[in-house]
């Protein structure tokens, strides 16, 4: 729990393992034992069992609503009947907001009173498409706490000139989040998010030290594991 977040707000980022003692089951390029996504061709029985274990392991007050994420700019209210989106917010106690990632940046947010929370899925495409802006627009930025969950680090996030051009076309200041390496670029998705947040009036965000690609013993990584990468869940709720 970030030290700045209210005590009545709970947040969780899962790892690729259900239990620290089960790391011995690591399979090279495999789903391991705590994949929570049904869309990555894992065994659906195992995935649904994992989702049930997720509720019990973290004492969730309700089952999360898993979104159909498309790197959009859509931020939903948790009470919405829609599932297509890349961020979700709520003011209701006991409602679990959830996104899934495997390298993309999860962004948690809460107001200081702990009466409104949410989480966003911000991969590079979502950042370009405006998911951070849509997400933050749901809150009062004068009263907002933000925390970054685990994402891929700049050292391991190589992109082409096309990605760089899209970021700079969106906001020239986003060039600061790139380092040129030969004919490619290394993108710091954490820094890009901070630049956008600062432009929206949010100056403090904790987190940003993890690397899903490098920390193989902790996290799934699509860039590292490919098509058989599982997905981690990032959950936040008001207790």
Assigned domain for 225 exists:
yes
Assigned domain for 2 exists:
no
Give the C-alpha separation, 121 to 147, whole Å. Answer: 12
Element (H, E) at 164: helix 161-170
Element (H, E) at 62: none
Assigned domain for 51 exists:
yes
Amino acid 20: pLDDT: 62
Assigned domain for 168 exists:
yes
197-237: pLDDT as tens digits: 999 999 889 999 999 999 988 999 999 988 888 999 999 99
- Looking up residue 99, the CATH number of its domain turns out to be 3.60.140.10
26-54: pLDDT as tens digits: 444 445 578 899 888 888 888 898 899 99
211-221: pLDDT as tens digits: 999 998 899 99
What would the two tokens of residue 223 be?
């860039």
Number of neighbours of residue 204 by Cβ within 10 angstroms? 12
What does pLDDT average to over the chain? 92
Give the C-alpha separation, 67 to 55, whole Å. Answer: 16
For 18, the domain range is 9-238
Q: Minimal CA–CA distance to 19: which of 62, 58, 45, 48?
A: 58
Give the chain's domain count.
Answer: 1
Residue of higher predicted confidence among 20 and 35: 35
- The answer to whether residue 115 scores a pLDDT higher than 50 is yes
Assigned domain for 3 exists:
no
Q: Minimal CA–CA distance to 118: which of 76, 68, 160, 71?
A: 76
Matching residue, tokens 């899903």: 212
In this prediction the pTM is 0.94
């Amino acid at each position: 729990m970030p030290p700045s977040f209210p005590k009545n707000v709970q947040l969780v980022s899962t790892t690729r393992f259900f239990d620290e003692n089960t790391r011995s089951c690591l399979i090279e390029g495999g789903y391991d034992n705590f994949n929570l996504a049904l869309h990555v061709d894992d065994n659906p029985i195992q995935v649904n069992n994992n989702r049930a274990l997720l509720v019990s392991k973290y004492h969730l007050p309700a089952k999360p609503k898993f979104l159909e994420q498309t790197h959009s700019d859509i931020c939903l209210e948790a009470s919405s009947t829609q599932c297509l989106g890349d961020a979700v917010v709520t003011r209701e106690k006991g409602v679990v907001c959830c996104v899934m990632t495997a390298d993309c940046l999860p962004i948690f947010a809460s107001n200081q009173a702990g009466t409104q929370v949410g989480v966003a899925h911000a991969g590079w495409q979502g950042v370009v498409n405006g998911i951070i802006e849509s997400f933050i627009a749901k809150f009062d930025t004068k009263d907002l706490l933000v925390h970054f969950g685990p994402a891929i680090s700049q050292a391991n996030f190589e992109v082409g000139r096309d990605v760089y051009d899209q970021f700079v076309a969106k906001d020239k200041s986003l060039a600061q989040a790139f380092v040129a390496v030969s004919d490619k670029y290394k993108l710091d998705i954490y820094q890009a998010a901070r630049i956008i947040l600062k432009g929206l009036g949010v100056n403090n965000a904790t987190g940003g030290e993890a690397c899903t690609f490098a920390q193989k013993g902790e996290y799934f990584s699509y860039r590292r594991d490919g098509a058989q990468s599982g997905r981690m869940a990032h959950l936040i709720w008001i207790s």
